[in-house]
Amino acid sequence: MLYREAGQFRTSYAEDQQIFPIRQDRIAITAFLLVAFIAVPLVANEYWLKAILIPFLIFSLAALGLNILTGYAGQLSLGTAGFMAVGAFAAYNFELRLEWMPILLSWILGGLAAALVGILFGLPSLRIKGFYLAVATLAAQFFIVWALTKFPWFSNYSSSGVITAGKIEILGYVFDSPIEKYLLVLTIVVLMALAAKNMVRSETGRAWMAVRDMDVAAEVVGIRMMHTKLLAFAVSSFYCGVAGALYAYAYIGTVEPEGFNLDLSFRILFMIIIGGVGSILGSFLGAAFIILFPIFLNAYADPFAHALGIDLPPGMTSNLELMIFGALIIFFLAVEPHGLARLWQIAKEKLRLWPFPH
Amino acid sequence: MQFFLEVLIGGLLSGVMYSLVALGFVLIFKASGVFNFAQGALVFLAALTTVGLMERGAPGWITGLIAVILLALAFFAVKPRKGAVAARPDWRKAAVLGGIAVASLFIIGKPLPFWVAVAVTLVFMVGVGVATERIVLRPLVNQPPITLFMATIGLTFFLEGLAQAMWGANVRGLDIGIPDEPIPWLMERYDIQVSSFDLAGAGIAAVLVAALALFFNKTRIGRALRAVADDHQAALAVGIPLKQIWAIVWAAAGFVALVAGLLWGARNGVQFALTFVALKALPVLILGGFESIAGAIVGGLIIGASEKLAEVYIGPMVGGGIESWFAYVVALLFLLVRPEGLFGEKHIDRV
């Protein structure tokens, strides 16, 4: 009753091709953005902004990048954190060595540097696929972290290899408080998410999906394999690189290469598995889940165990977290291989018919 | 020259240890097409369980839980649920499960001698393997391989958490009675240092591979395994019990993980870093090809040797520490020439 496209007629091509063709979707998105941009900064306290909302947005962006590569173009990658590291360190170096460089430009350049590295490590994808490729992307992960640790130039010869991101200043205005940082990150993430949403329904995105579904068939119908696959690697790494730069500048502040380890890559991979492989919305849902879940567990595991009369030994929560994480992933894959995004889709389809059964 | 030989031999022997982990991957991939990322976690779990049993015996709560589950399974084996396929009571299965359950209660809290601990761990690992097949993989049958792969990543997390929840996260030493010293007569005659431990490890690996090769080629179950690996549906059609075969393969992978875990644990200490050893097995795999046991061995030798040589001869030029990624790059470059690995099967894609 509420969610139904009946009666919404499109009278021009522009209307037919807009991002959200259903009016209710447009209203919902607008309302959501209004909440995110206006209501959240008014309500949220510093802890929420700093520890939950900002990392959520940044990880969503990284998950979005991985989703473009794995979900849309079908190339499994285990090197996401490596590409994030490239973005973070490149942005830092641009900012450090070229003083006139505006911060936004250095983030974009950081993303482009990550894209270049992504293309380099995407080259094997032209010859190999599937698991072989997944292992090959591990090479990217280990090599990048090693190179950043080993060559002190990248971290400006700091003794511990740790870099400290400078302050964020755009056109003379300093983004200092958590609210300002949140709004800046939110703007960037929203813009890039919209761009991704558009990209995947364009010719490029359809070519990616054709490659994902069957690359030989895609080649036969005339999709340029090299161009398509490398573009997927480049775009995906660009997103990850920008996410990495934001991670360094807007979230952590001081980062070291080891912070971008394989574990982080896996976390981002889990985000898209739980959220939904091949779905923009899924990247956000998955990131929210993976960020919120450990916080929730840390807050409630001990009291819950106490209520049951068990004393958890120290360190047990993190083990439990690992176990529950693993079990949840298996559960999700078995029950809903398409992730949370699919549940939302099912809900929408149910809503369309409601209140009638068929 | 002597130094070169020493590095080469050391590399080859450590390569054999990589192959040992890679074998576990190959076994499962051959029979079920699942790329089992959790093999490293299995290795870790096996090593930690053995050490933990030697140190302080089985932990009460989890052993009790396992015993209860086993007894329940034994009960259902004798008294099948309504509508179950096997309607006859399976007394043998019930006796085995019940026996294990009762026996497990006797080892709670008692430090065990080495061989008993190994035997108990073997039973445990086989159980974990069978349970994995039953709980994780059977619901995912017919999913795309990537989904199965991700499920095994989830399994990795679960097993790592389980291992540490059961035994704690401390680093422990493991002594399996083989000294880690240079062999004297090689020292005297050729002045080459080769650790007797490495050599023993290579010997154990060789025995294991020979046993697996015999098992695959000469036994009835081995032939069934190869048939399943070749074509699941055809194997089903000629009456090979697919589920049983998969359970056997997972149990075998648990066994290989135990051997690898003992050797690696004795070498480097039983610690969380053992799981990274398994990551090292991946380039071995892609070099050798996922489907080939021989490939796992040869790949291991190549990776082990080239990695050590590179560390010694190229390492100083770029500041060292290249061992962490060199294996991957070797494998990657190799793949550009032969995308299916040394011994992998070439697949022809059809539209």
Question: For residue B107, what are the contacts with CB-CB under 8 A and spacing of at least 6?
Answer: B53, B57, B58, B63, B120
Within-domain flag for B74 = no
Within-domain flag for B105 = no
Decide: A349 and A22 in contact? Cβ < 8 Å.
no
Within-domain flag for B169 = yes
User: In sequence order, what DSSP letters do the residues of B179-245 get, joined into one string?
Assistant: --SB-HHHHHHH----BHHHHHHHHHHHHHHHHHHHHHHHSHHHHHHHHHHH-HHHHHHTT--HHHH
How close B138 comes to chain A (CA, Å)? 9
d(CA B326, CA B323): 5
Decide: A199 and A205 in contact? Cβ < 8 Å.
yes
Confidence category of residue B182, pLDDT binned at 50, 70, 90: low
Pick from B130, B149, B193, B161: nearest CA to B3: B193
| Host H or E run for residue A254 | strand A254-255
Taking each helix axis from N to C terminus, what angle separates B2-32 and B274-288, rounded to the nearest 10 degrees? 80
Question: Does residue B146 carry a pLDDT above 70?
Answer: yes
Domains: count for chain A:
1
Domain span at residue B161?
2-57+111-173+185-337
Most confident range (mean pLDDT) of A74-83, B73-82, B279-288 is A74-83
Within-domain flag for B227 = yes
Confidence category of residue B183, pLDDT binned at 50, 70, 90: low
B298-318 tens-digit pLDDT = 888 888 888 888 888 877 777
Task: Locate all alpha helices (DSSP H) within A171-260, ordered by sequence.
Answer: 178-200, 203-213, 215-220, 225-246
User: Model-level pTM greater than 0.90?
Assistant: no
Question: Does residue B69 carry a pLDDT above 80?
Answer: yes
Whether B151 and A76 lie within 8 Å, measured CB to CB: no
Question: Strands A173-175 and A168-170: what pairing?
Answer: antiparallel
d(CA B268, CA B273): 9
Question: Does residue B323 carry a pLDDT above 90?
Answer: no
- Closest-approach residue (CA) in chain A for B287: A132
Within-domain flag for B345 = no
Q: In chain A, how long is the greatest CA-to-CA distance?
A: 67
Q: Which of A135, A149, A329 sits opposite B154 (nearest CB)?
A: A329
Confidence category of residue B189, pLDDT binned at 50, 70, 90: low
Domain span at residue A328?
44-353
Domains: count for chain B:
1
When scoring B140, B292, B328, B333 by the number of chain A Cβ atoms within 10 A, the one with the most, hence best to mutate, is B328
Q: How many percent of chain A have pLDDT more than 90?
A: 34
Q: What is the pLDDT of residue A80?
A: 93
How close A264 comes to chain B (CA, Å)? 13
Would an 8 Å CB–CB cutoff place A214 in contact with chain B?
Answer: yes
d(CA A316, CA B164): 8
- Closest-approach residue (CA) in chain A for B351: A217
Whether A330 and B279 lie within 8 Å, measured CB to CB: no
Pick from B244, B293, B276, B275: nearest CA to B42: B275
Q: Which of B139, B279, B325 sits opposite A143 (nearest CB)?
A: B325
Confidence category of residue B67, pLDDT binned at 50, 70, 90: confident
Residue B307 exposure: Cα atoms within 13 Å on the Cβ side: 28
Within-domain flag for A27 = no
Within-domain flag for B194 = yes
Query: B-contacting residues of A 153-192, CB under 8 Å?
Result: none
Decide: A145 and A261 in contact? Cβ < 8 Å.
yes
- Closest-approach residue (CA) in chain A for B157: A326
Which class for A81: exposed (0-12), middle (13-18), buried (19 or more C-beta within 10 A)?
A: buried
Within-domain flag for A93 = yes
Residue A217: list chain B partners with CB under 8 A.
351
Would an 8 Å CB–CB cutoff place B154 in contact with chain A?
Answer: yes
- Closest-approach residue (CA) in chain A for B348: A216
The identity of residue B90, as a single letter, is D
A159-218 tens-digit pLDDT = 777 888 777 777 777 888 888 889 999 999 999 999 999 999 999 999 999 998 888 899
Decide: B12 and B302 in contact? Cβ < 8 Å.
no
Least confident of A145-154, B80-89, B127-136, B250-259: B80-89
B195-211 tens-digit pLDDT = 777 788 888 888 888 88
Within-domain flag for A343 = yes
d(CA B124, CA B49): 9
Q: Which residue has the higher pLDDT, A243 or B331?
A: A243
What is the phi-psi region of residue B59: left when phi exceeds 0, alpha when psi lies from -120 to 50, beta otherwise? Answer: beta
Average pLDDT, chain B: 80
d(CA A72, CA B77): 46
Would an 8 Å CB–CB cutoff place A217 in contact with chain B?
Answer: yes
Question: Strands A163-164 and A254-255: what pairing?
Answer: antiparallel
Within-domain flag for B214 = yes
CATH number at residue B211: 1.10.3470
Would an 8 Å CB–CB cutoff place B219 in contact with chain A?
Answer: no
Q: What angle do CA A152, A155, A158 make, to 5 degrees?
A: 75
d(CA A319, CA B345): 40
How confident is chain A (358 residues) per 10-residue block, as mean pLDDT?
A: 76 85 86 89 84 92 94 89 94 86 90 94 82 82 87 79 78 82 93 94 93 89 92 96 93 86 89 88 92 82 72 73 85 83 86 77
Find where tokens 């870093």 sit: B273
Question: Strands A168-170 and A254-255: what pairing?
Answer: unpaired
Question: For residue B136, what are the contacts with CB-CB under 8 A and spacing of at least 6?
Answer: A330, A334, B151, B152, B154, B155
Rounding to the nearest 10 degrees, give the CA dihedral for residues B58, B62, B68, B72: -110
Residue B164: list chain A partners with CB under 8 A.
315, 319, 322
Whether A322 and B150 lie within 8 Å, measured CB to CB: no
- Closest-approach residue (CA) in chain A for B324: A142
Residue B161: list chain A partners with CB under 8 A.
319-326
How close B186 comes to chain A (CA, Å)? 36
Q: In chain B, how long is the greatest CA-to-CA distance?
A: 72
Residue B324: list chain A partners with CB under 8 A.
142, 146
Q: What is the pLDDT of residue A265?
A: 92
Residue A263: list chain B partners with CB under 8 A.
none
**What's the average model confidence in pLDDT over B102-122?**
82
Q: Which of A131, A266, A334 sits opposite B149 (nearest CB)?
A: A131
Within-domain flag for B281 = yes
DSSP 8-state code for residue A174: E
Whether A269 and B150 lie within 8 Å, measured CB to CB: yes
What is the phi-psi region of residue B168: left when phi exceeds 0, alpha when psi lies from -120 to 50, beta otherwise? Answer: left
ipTM over 0.90: no
CATH number at residue A117: 1.10.3470
A163 three-state secondary structure: strand
Q: CA distances (Å), B191 to each of B1, B6, B50, B305, B309, in order? A: 11, 9, 36, 19, 19
Find where tokens 């009291």 sit: A303
How many Cβ atoms are within 10 Å of B223's Cβ, its own excluded?
A: 13
User: In sequence order, what DSSP letters do the residues of A255-304 get, joined into one string?
Assistant: E-GGGS-HHHHHHHHHHHHHH-TT-HHHHHHHHHHHHHHHHHHHHHHHHH
- Closest-approach residue (CA) in chain B for A321: B161
Q: What is the pLDDT of residue A85?
A: 94
DSSP 8-state code for residue A250: I
Whether B339 and A132 lie within 8 Å, measured CB to CB: yes
Residue A324: list chain B partners with CB under 8 A.
161
When scoring A216, A329, A338 by the number of chain B Cβ atoms within 10 A, the one with the most, hence best to mutate, is A329
Record the tokens describing residue A41, joined without a space: 């900064």
d(CA A266, CA A260): 11
| Host H or E run for residue A122 | helix A103-122
**What's the average model confidence in pLDDT over B230-243?**
83
d(CA A122, CA A70): 12
d(CA A75, CA A133): 8
Pick from A116, A138, A114, A102: nearest CA to A239: A114
Q: What is the pLDDT of residue A204?
A: 93
Residue B286: list chain A partners with CB under 8 A.
131-132, 135-136
